[in-house]
Amino acid sequence: MKKIMKKSLVLFLALVFVVMSVLPVAASQATSYSYTEDDQGELVRTQDAYLPDRTITNLELSDPEDMVIDDNNIAYIADTGNQRIVIYDLNTEKIVRILNGKTVNDKRFPGFKSPKGVFRTNAGELYVADVGQKAVFKFTKDFKFVRSYLKPTAAIFADTNYEPSKVAVDSGNNIYIVSEGVYAGVIQLANTGKFLGYFTSNKSKLTPQQMFLKLIYTKEQEKKSELLNTLPSTFSNVFVDTNGAAYSTCMGIGNDLLKKHSTNGTNMLGNVKTSSALTDVTANKDGIIYASDSHGMIWVYTSQGEVIFQLGAEAADKDISGLFTSLTTIAVDNSGNIWTADGEKGYLQSFTPTEYATTIFKALKEYENGDYKEALTDWNYVLRLNQMSVLAHNGVAKAYYNDEVYDKAMEHFEIAGNRDGYSNAFWEVRNKSIQKWLGTVLIVLVILIAIKIAIGFIDKNHVLKKKKRALGQKLKNTPVIGELGYAFKITKHPIDRYYDIRVNKNGSVIAATILYIVFFGVYMLYQTGKGFIYQYSKVEDMDMGAVIVGFFAILILFIICNYLVTSITDGDGTFRQVYLIPAYGLIPAMISMVATVIMSYVLTYNESFILTVIMIIGVCWSIALIFEGLSTVHDYDFKHTVVSLIITVVFMLIAAIVVLVVIIMWEQLKDFLVTVGKEIIRNVTGS
């Protein structure tokens, strides 16, 4: 029996080994994660977009600062530490030429000191920005020295620092220079060296703290304060693509650190999610934008600035392929491979796109070329690889939209969180629905009007009208229901009805409580129940406990503080009356919120002003009713009512601060008591 069991076990293990040996094994070459944007604009993990490929370590580079690649896959590298430009063939992996003071046979050329920027034009001319020499050098396509661009002699430029660190040239031979220590913008020179001005510039941005300090500081204090350093973000690089579009990168804080410029320097990308430490930017012939930052991250964008991928990571002290100690530059070869340089370790690293990335780029190009059916096929393939790809859903939606399949376009725009696209598609769907159903709706309206006229003709003795009035009177006399209806009377005749609350004690605490609860429900509906175009918050993202506590805490705090304030300022209102006033005044706001929610399902983005007007009218009406109610029950004039409300708000803030301090002190006391208790137990037990 034991022998049989042993043989069976051996046979089973052998079978498992055979099966496992023929199963395919999948392993990723990726050394870092790839990210993309979700429908909320947050970066989330996605499939590997690029994989580390070649690592070039035999060029003996020292602090490489910049690199460009031409159409023949020839790389031009600014080898700053070695004071040279290395021209390297990526296909043959051989050095084509080295440019330095020794190899350039021209007495006019002084040699490089600190070449930090390099650029090659479509015509093959080479430009090098040298910080140490304070010049930009120009070479022919055969690497013969042409001339130096020294500091412009224009009077307006006299006090400007001129230490060119990056350079780019457009098809008109205008030169764009990033100079160290210059905050005014990117310097623009004509081919003759004449100063043309600043091509683009950054605006100073104040933090909330700086805004506050500027309000309270004198001019002298502003000059001395380091906190009020309002210098704009500095440019870190500039690039011109083969189509003549100019790009720039900046280091600092803001959402415009990566720019694509029009011919007059205006940023065409708008707000772009990116890094605060961008070092370089490049773009391929299809308009795909690539950017690098000093933290080792690579960013890939569409031509409109949408994030396609983010990948990479800091390597720290580890030598891992695809990770960087100092990522200084980025370029793309004619096969779509990304090439980068590690400025600290002095090597080149390439990344090759995966099938996932290649398909996305192919779909983007097809859409730009108007091949919508081919683009739709590729986007659907991307969705099979990643069902939640926002970029793919956007692509599918745009393809459907251009194919006039608007209902499906709406579906995918919604998944992608693209409200602009959804609004455009919805307008088309709504337009078709109006054309289809308008006749039917008009017929129904005519029938209803005819029925009403017929009823009026038949019911000459007004029997139905009398029954309707009797039912209304019965409901009015019903406890709570009649008191709830009283709120609508206040909406139409606030002065008289509030006076009745003050003198005749009309109104009910129960009805007011119900109105508060209903208002909270309507408020939550307004916050979470609007149509997709106008709905930005999700229920799952809300802390419902905090919302409920916060809402009713503010309400109760207002009622208590207002009663206390008016009690010491000769107000006549009782606590009950102060409790009733806000509840009965909230009806217009509730109606406007419900109307906004309903209409949000039938209006497009372009008609958003209608919802804005409805909300403004409703909220202002409610504020006016509450103001009039408090003024009436307290027997205040306008001025005293305003003062009492201001003091009420101040009291609310003081109360909130006191409660916050008490909570913090209680938490500290609790932690102290727990610590003391543990110490006592430890001493008693000896453990």
- Full DSSP string of 61-98: -SSEEEEEE-TT-EEEEEEGGGTEEEEEETTTTEEEEE
Most confident by average pLDDT, 98-112, 220-234, 449-463, 563-577: 98-112
pLDDT at 188 over 90: yes
Do residue 188 and residue 326 come from a single domain?
Answer: yes
Buried b or exposed e, range 277-306, using 16+ CB within 10 angstroms: bbbbbbbbebbbbbbbbbebbbbbbbbebb
Would you call 493 helix, strand, or coil by DSSP?
Answer: coil
User: Between helices 419-458 and 390-402, what is the axis angle to 10°?
Assistant: 60
Q: Are residues 444 and 371 in the same domain?
A: yes
Q: Is residue 434 part of a domain?
A: yes
Confidence of residue 150 (pLDDT cuts 50, 70, 90): very high
Residue 2 lies in a domain: no
> 386 and 259, same structural domain?
no
The full 3-state SS of 643-685, as one line of letters, equals HHHHHHHHHHHHHHHHHHHHHHHHHHHHHHHHHHHHHHHHHHH
Tell whether 197 is covered by a domain. yes
349 with 402, same domain: the answer is no
Contacts of 156 (CB under 8 A, 6+ apart): 195
pLDDT level of residue 241 (50, 70, 90 thresholds): very high
C-alpha count within 13 angstroms, C-beta hemisphere, residue 213: 17
Domain end call among 353, 383, 406: 353
pLDDT score of 203 more than 80? no
3, part of any domain = no
Do 182 and 314 belong together in one domain?
yes
Is residue 554 situated within a structural domain?
yes
pLDDT band at 27, cuts 50/70/90?
Answer: very low
Model confidence at 317, pLDDT cuts 50, 70, 90, reads: low
Whether 387 and 409 share a structural domain: yes
Residues 577 and 640 in one domain: yes
Rg of the Cα trace of the chain?
36
**Domain final residue pick, 458, 491, 522:** 458
Q: Which of 385, 366, 389 is nearest to 376 (CA)?
A: 366
The residue from 423, 458, 493 where one domain ends is 458
Q: What's the rounded Cα separation, in Å, for the pair 445 and 248?
A: 60
Residue 658 included in any domain: no
β-sheet with 327-332: strand ranges across? 50-56, 347-353, 338-342, 327-332
- What average pLDDT does the structure give for the chain? 86
Q: What Å distances lie between residue 507 and 69, 192, 556, 582, 588, CA to CA?
A: 80, 85, 18, 12, 18
CATH at 40: 2.120.10.30
Residue type, 210: Q
Q: Residue 601 is part of which domain span?
A: 471-646
Pair 275, 350: CB distance under 8 Å: no
263: left (phi over 0), alpha (psi -120 to 50) or beta: alpha
Q: What is the DSSP letter of 270?
A: -
The one-letter amino acid code at 430 reads R
Q: List the strands of the sheet with 307-312, edge to edge.
A: 43-46, 34-37, 307-312, 297-301, 289-293, 278-283
State yes or no: pLDDT of 68 exceeds 80: yes
Q: Would you say residue 466 has pLDDT above 80? A: no
- Residue 29 is predicted with a pLDDT of 65
| Burial group, residue 274, by CB count within 10 angstroms (0-12, 13-18, 19+) | buried
Please tell me whether residues 200 and 333 are part of one structural domain.
Answer: yes
User: 482 and 442: one domain?
Assistant: no
CB 307 within 8 A of CB 390: no
Residue 246 lies in a domain: yes
Confidence check: pLDDT of 401 > 90:
yes
Q: Are residues 64 and 90 in the same domain?
A: yes
Number of domains forming the structure of the chain: 3
**Confidence (pTM):** 0.79
- CA 374 remoteness from chain centre: 30
**Token couple for 268:** 């065409």
Q: Is residue 543 located within the same domain as residue 628?
A: yes
463, part of any domain: no
- If asked whether residues 289 and 423 sit together in one domain, one would say no
Residue 197 has a CB neighbour count (10 Å cut-off) of 15
Neighbours of 26 (CB within 10 A): 5
Burial class, 550, CB count within 10 angstroms (exposed 0-12 / middle 13-18 / buried 19+): exposed
